[in-house]
């Protein structure tokens, strides 16, 4: 399956809302493979990143693919059911920024998410800390929201090399 081009910050396509996946869509598998292959390629070439949302490659459906150190999985038609009152600050970046810079923003420390897996099985899971902020980032993409939208202090932008020097 082909690796797709990632749409970059500034392109209005990233601002459009995605719609629900229909599991009977005959092209679904092809799209899911494209999303997976694109993330694998990006992780290899950018040496960073844990997930990709379908609208980043121009497929406007509610799908996210995660490739974490211990597991990889699809999250289809996700919905945040609960957000903890507690927030925390994170350094966030995005393949849509070519991971050239990071922004420091606030995210919920804990969320409960309902989603469907690749076999259309409904799941409800609680995520905390680094997974919580990752999933919030990805679900934002489905709603046309980017990490930079959460920036409250314009001074909290840092180039990747500087971020690696200071925080890695």
Q: Which residues bind Zn ion (CB under 5 A)?
A: 94
5 is catalytic: no
Using a 10 angstrom Cβ sphere, with 0-12 exposed, 13-18 middle and 19 or more buried, the burial of residue 8 is middle
Kindly tell me which of 31 and 141 has the beta carbon lying closer to Zn ion: 141
Could you tell me the smallest distance in angstroms from the CB atom of residue 14 to Zn ion?
9
What is the rounded CA–CA span in Å between residue 141 and residue 55?
A: 7
Using a 10 angstrom Cβ sphere, with 0-12 exposed, 13-18 middle and 19 or more buried, the burial of residue 141 is buried
CA 105 to chain centre: 15
Kindly tell me which of 8 and 28 has the beta carbon lying closer to Zn ion: 8
Could you tell me the smallest distance in angstroms from the CB atom of residue 118 to Zn ion?
21
Could you tell me the smallest distance in angstroms from the CB atom of residue 45 to Zn ion?
16
Kindly tell me which of 54 and 94 has the beta carbon lying closer to Zn ion: 94
**Which residues are the active-site residues?**
138
């Amino acid at each position: 399956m082909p690796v797709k081009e990632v749409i970059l910050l500034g392109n209005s396509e990233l601002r459009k809302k995605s719609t629900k996946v229909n599991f009977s869509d005959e092209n679904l598998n092809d799209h899911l493979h494209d999303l997976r292959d694109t993330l694998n390629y990006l992780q290899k070439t950018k040496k960073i990143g844990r997930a990709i949302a379908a609208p980043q490659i121009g497929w406007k459906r509610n799908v996210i693919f995660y490739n974490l150190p211990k597991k990889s999985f699809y999250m289809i038609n996700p919905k945040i059911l609960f957000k903890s009152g507690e927030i925390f600050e994170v350094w966030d970046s995005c393949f849509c920024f070519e991971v050239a810079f990071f922004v420091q923003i606030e995210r919920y420390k804990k969320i409960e998410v309902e989603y469907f897996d690749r076999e259309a099985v409904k799941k409800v899971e609680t995520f905390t800390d680094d997974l919580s902020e990752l999933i919030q980032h990805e679900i934002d993409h489905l709603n046309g929201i980017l990490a930079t939208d959460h920036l409250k202090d314009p001074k909290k932008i840092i180039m990747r090399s500087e971020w690696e020097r200071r925080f890695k």
